[in-house]
């Protein structure tokens, strides 16, 4: 039967068991009202066939009947073609069962708790037994969760993504009928398997799950660490945030920090800090350094007890321009405190009482004698600007009456990404008439008289940390949280502050004080007024203080590091742009310095010209080198909605050290990052029996206890599959062959009778 339908033009690879239903369908291809053409053709065909019965034709009666029948057959075939007849068949096909063994090759399958062998080896051995048992009665195939060829050992860093692997195999195998999943169930994504089960049931795929491993395996130790930044300036401290798991009963664990393979620090982590701890280290040399945080611990995967990353320490100073009004003792203390910062290249411009300025520190800009900078390219050479009690009239340079130098501060912060610090005094804020100035739009204060009409609030006071923001980067005077809080509570009092109005809605208040305000009614009321606040503006940041007596925090013999020196150091690091982002510099930075295997790596480049305008459509080339020395070449392009920002992505398909080199013409910049294995693979090594049972139940499948016993009772009979086929009889080669055959038989019969 199947050979007949194959000869008729059906799929030659379709095994047909039987035909359950058939119907003849004709296409209405003639124009409306032209169906009479078919009837005329049929009538003419019958008349031509009846010619055999004419008396003038000398034939025996039996021969006449044969010829008439043959010619009617020819007419019938021609009518099939004329009406374009289709034969629609409902068939029952018998397919050889298609099975797939999906083997979990993740890192947790390396755990040796199945008869003393790794889980992966036990799963591979069961797959071989299934293949031998089914023989040729089943189309049996094998795949791994990672899509890599099944090897003798599981991947050391391969993660478990059961849901993604099943969907991938269903998409690649549309005729799959049974899926045998061999796993320990430790899915790192902790996926809800409802969608997985629905996908299996919608395809009619039976699911069987074989579990490997112990419900109570030997506990595992692991460590995870992430640097706060992957690019720093030489002299800055690398802040590493980590966590570890240790099943032992020890009260603390020693963690070693290695720099380029050499131990540089050993830190003892108490058990109560296992969930979150910080490690600080300051590199002594510039360059790209590889850091590893490791602990001595027993683990199924030794690599789980260590975590590595790269940090690029660049020999790049922070250029700070400090402009002050008339020099004073407080300002000298602030200048001295900032000048001691090893990261800072300080340029100070002090206005003298009799006119003129005094410049110190090697100015980067031209016309330093003007006091303030009136040209954007010159101002943009600095990373940070500090204004100390600068009267408004000093922003008028030469014949300028539009305060162009003050207006330049807006693009300096917004477009350049620079940092701006404004300190209090007798000549600024409301006291200096800054309410309607271009600087007022940048300040985190509204400079209103909502609190009081007085321009200043005299008297000594102690500062308050607003909303207990002691851990804000600007207010972190000591690394220990308790000690930092205590220092803020014991700082010396300051003397007097400006009335800066209210803090703007988008700004963040950090320090405040209480003042006594006399109301129009004559009553007095205590109100809280801001002392220190910060605000983001475009690509930059602003910090403004309403006091000019912070120098009192510098001369403090009680502390090893004077509080003012630390506070200004925090401001510099908080406000300054990231290293390597100056105009004309090539930069390439990973969004995540420690991406996990299977994740998408995101690298970005920001290009600006000397005026810090975005450089669009630059001809960039990025060469990514994988741990196995394979290379990937990318030609990134910026987007219209983010001009000058080039972002490029690729999958982290190998664990280990990666290198990415950005090239533009003859210039190039290189970064490195470490793709780590899935730490969650070793967070819990017990078999997830409950999760796999839930998946099997939702998919209508089973959890197999013993694969050899399961395959013996499995149904290996061919699967009956109903399908529909449409046979174009009018266009079938069989119709043409049959027509020619009828013509040949008719000619043969007439030839035997001696007829033409």
pLDDT digit string, tens, across residues 179-204: 999 998 877 665 678 889 999 999 88
Mean pLDDT of the chain: 85
Q: Worst-scoring range by mean pLDDT, 26-30, 141-145, 300-304?
A: 300-304
The residue-averaged pLDDT of 112-123 equals: 86
User: Could you name the CATH architecture of 222-315?
Assistant: Sandwich (2.60)
- The rounded distance, in Å, linking the Cα atoms of 64 and 465 is 118
Distance CA 628, CA 541 (A): 42
If one compares 682 and 526, the residue with the highest pLDDT of the two is: 526
The per-residue pLDDT for range 615-632, each reduced to its tens digit, is 999 999 999 999 989 999
Strands of the sheet containing 667-675, edge to edge, are: 631-634, 621-625, 656-664, 667-675
CB 372 within 8 A of CB 394: yes
Between 684 and 149, the higher pLDDT residue: 149
pLDDT of residue 4: 53
Full strand arrangement of the beta sheet holding 222-227? 222-227, 238-245, 277-281
Residue 664 banded pLDDT, cuts 50, 70, 90? very high
Task: Tell me the average pLDDT across 85-95.
Answer: 74
More confident: 300 or 590: 590
Q: Which residue has the higher pLDDT, 259 or 522?
A: 259
pLDDT (average), residues 299-322: 83
> What is the pLDDT at residue 305?
80
pLDDT of 302 above 80: no
Q: Are strands 357-360 and 262-270 parallel, antiparallel or unpaired?
A: unpaired
Average pLDDT over residues 131-137: 89
422, 406 contact by CB (below 8 A) = no
pLDDT digits (tens, 9 = 90+) for 490-504: 999 999 999 999 999
Question: pLDDT value at position 611?
Answer: 84
Domain boundary assignment for the chain? 2-94+722-752, 97-215+693-714, 222-315, 356-552+562-575, 589-675
Whole-angstrom distance, CA of residue 468 vs CA of residue 444: 19
Residue closest to 750 by CA, chosen among 70, 75, 55, 44:
70
Return the SS3 of 77: helix
Question: What pLDDT sits at residue 300?
Answer: 44
Q: Convert the pLDDT of each residue in 595-605 to its tens digit.
A: 887 789 999 99
Instruction: Quote the DSSP letter at residue 591.
Output: S
**What string of H, E and C letters represents the secondary structure of 209-272?**
EEECCCCCCCCCCEEEEEECCCEEEECECEEEEEEEECCCCCCEEEEEEEECCEEEEEEEEEHH
DSSP-assigned states of every residue in 690-722:
HHHHHHHHHHT-EEES-HHHHHHHS--SPEEEE
* For residue 157, pLDDT beyond 70: no
Fold match, 222-315 / 589-675: yes
- Residue 435: the pLDDT is 93
pLDDT value at position 299?
46
Q: At what angle do helices 733-752 and 61-82 cross, to 10 degrees?
A: 160
356-552+562-575 CATH pick, 3.40.50.880, 3.40.710.10, 3.40.50.720, 3.50.50.60? 3.40.50.880
Three-class SS state of 196 = helix
Instruction: Indicate whether 636 pLDDT > 80.
Output: yes
What is the reported pLDDT for 683?
56
What value, to the nearest 5°, has the Cα angle with vertex 709 and ends 704 and 715?
85
| 97-215+693-714: CATH superfamily | von Willebrand factor, type A domain (3.40.50.410)
Average pLDDT over residues 262-289: 92
Q: Of 257-266, 351-360, 474-483, which gets the smallest average pLDDT?
A: 351-360
Distance CA 445, CA 529 (A): 11
Region 265-279: what's the mean pLDDT? 91
Q: Of all helices (H) and strands (E), which one includes residue 338?
A: helix 329-339
Assign 436 a pLDDT band (cuts: 50, 70, 90). Answer: very high
Share of the chain above pLDDT 70, in %: 90
Nearest to 703 by CA among 215, 212, 216, 217: 212
| pLDDT for residue 624 | 96
What is the per-residue pLDDT for 556?
66
Residues with Cβ within 8 Å of residue 39, at least 6 apart in sequence: none
Q: Label residue 5 by pLDDT band (50, 70, 90).
A: low
Report, as an integer, the average pLDDT of 704-710. 89
What pLDDT does residue 256 have? 93
Tell me the CATH number for domain 589-675.
2.60.40.1930
Query: How many CB atoms lie under 10 A from the CB of residue 492?
Result: 15
DSSP 431: G
How much of the chain is in helix, strand and coil states, percent to nearest 5?
30, 35, 40
Nearest-angstrom CA–CA distance, 681 and 674: 18
Helix pair angle (329-339, 563-575), 10° resolution: 60
């Amino acid at each position: 039967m199947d050979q007949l339908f194959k000869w008729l033009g059906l799929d030659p690879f379709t095994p047909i068991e039987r035909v359950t239903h058939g119907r003849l369908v004709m296409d209405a291809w003639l124009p409306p009202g032209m169906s009479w053409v078919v009837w005329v053709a049929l009538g003419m065909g019958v008349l031509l066939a009846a010619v055999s019965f004419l008396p003038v034709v000398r034939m025996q009666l039996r021969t006449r009947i044969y010829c008439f029948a043959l010619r009617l057959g020819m007419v019938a075939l021609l009518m099939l073609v004329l009406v374009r007849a289709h034969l629609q068949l409902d068939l029952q096909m018998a397919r050889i069962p298609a099975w797939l063994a999906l083997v979990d090759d993740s890192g947790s399958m390396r755990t040796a708790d199945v008869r003393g062998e790794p889980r992966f080896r036990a799963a591979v051995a069961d797959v071989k037994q299934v293949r031998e048992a089914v023989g040729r009665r089943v189309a049996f195939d094998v795949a791994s969760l990672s899509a890599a060829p099944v090897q003798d050992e599981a991947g050391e860093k391969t993660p478990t993504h059961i849901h993604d692997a099943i969907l991938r195999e269903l998409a690649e195998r549309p005729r799959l009928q049974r899926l045998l999943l061999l796993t320990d169930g430790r899915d790192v994504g902790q996926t809800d398997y409802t969608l997985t089960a629905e996908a299996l049931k919608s395809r009619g795929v039976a699911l069987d799950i074989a579990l490997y491993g112990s419900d109570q395996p030997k506990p595992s130790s692991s460590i995870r660490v992430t640097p706060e930044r992957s690019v720093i300036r030489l002299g800055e401290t690398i802040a590493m945030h980590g966590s570890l798991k240790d099943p032992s009963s020890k009260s603390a664990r020693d963690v070693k920090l290695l720099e380029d393979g050499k131990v540089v620090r050993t830190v003892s982590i108490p058990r109560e800090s296992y969930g979150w701890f910080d490690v600080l280290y300051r590199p002594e040399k510039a360059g790209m350094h590889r850091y590893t945080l490791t602990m001595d611990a027993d683990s199924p995967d030794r690599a789980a007890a260590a975590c590595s990353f790269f940090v690029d320490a660049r020999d790049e100073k922070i250029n700070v321009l400090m402009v002050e009004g008339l020099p004073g003792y407080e300002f000298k203390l602030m200048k001295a405190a900032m000048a001691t910062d090893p990261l800072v290249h300080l340029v100070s411009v002090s206005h003298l009482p009799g006119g003129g300025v005094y410049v110190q520190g090697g100015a980067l800009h031209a016309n330093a004698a003007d006091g303030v900078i009136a040209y954007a390219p010159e101002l943009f050479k600095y990373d940070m600007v500090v204004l100390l009690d600068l009267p408004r009239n000093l922003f008028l340079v030469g014949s300028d009456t539009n305060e162009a130098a003050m207006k330049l501060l807006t693009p300096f912060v917004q477009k350049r990404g620079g940092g701006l610090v404004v300190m209090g005094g007798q000549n600024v804020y409301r006291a200096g008439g800054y309410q309607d100035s271009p600087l007022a739009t940048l300040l985190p204060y509204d400079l209103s008289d909502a609190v009081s009409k007085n321009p200043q609030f005299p008297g000594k006071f102690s500062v308050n940390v607003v909303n207990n923001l002691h851990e804000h980067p600007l207010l972190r005077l000591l690394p220990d949280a308790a000690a930092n809080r205590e220092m803020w509570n014991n700082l010396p009092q300051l003397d007097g502050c400006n009335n800066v109005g209210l803090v703007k809605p988008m700004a963040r208040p950090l320090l405040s004080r209480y003042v006594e305000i006399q109301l129009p009614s004559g009553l007095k009321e205590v109100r809280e007024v801001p002392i220190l606040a910060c605000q983001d503006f475009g690509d930059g940041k602003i910090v403004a203080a309403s006091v000019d007596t912070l120098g009192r925090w510098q001369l403090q013999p009680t502390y090893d590091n004077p509080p003012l020196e630390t506070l200004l150091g925090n401001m510099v690091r908080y406000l300054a742009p990231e290293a390597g982002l100056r105009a004309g510099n090539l930069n390439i930075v990973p969004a995540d310095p420690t991406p996990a295997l299977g994740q998408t790596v995101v690298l970005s480049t920001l290009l600006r010209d000397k005026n810090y305008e975005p450089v669009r459509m630059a001809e960039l080339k990025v060469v990514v080198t994988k741990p196995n020395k394979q290379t990937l070449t990318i030609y990134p392009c910026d987007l219209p909605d983010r001009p000058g920002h080039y972002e490029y992505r690729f999958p982290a398909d190998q664990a280990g050290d990666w290198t990415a080199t950005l090239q533009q013409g003859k210039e190039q910049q290189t970064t490195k990052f470490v793709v780590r294995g899935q730490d969650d693979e070793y967070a819990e090594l017990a078999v997830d029996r409950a999760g796999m049972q839930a998946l099997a139940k939702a998919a209508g499948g089973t959890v197999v206890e013993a694969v050899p016993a399961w395959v013996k009772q499995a149904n290996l009979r061919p699967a009956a599959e109903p399908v529909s086929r449409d046979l174009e009889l009018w266009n079938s080669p069989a119709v043409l062959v049959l027509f020619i055959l009828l013509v040949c038989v008719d000619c043969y019969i007439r030839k035997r009778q001696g007829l033409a």
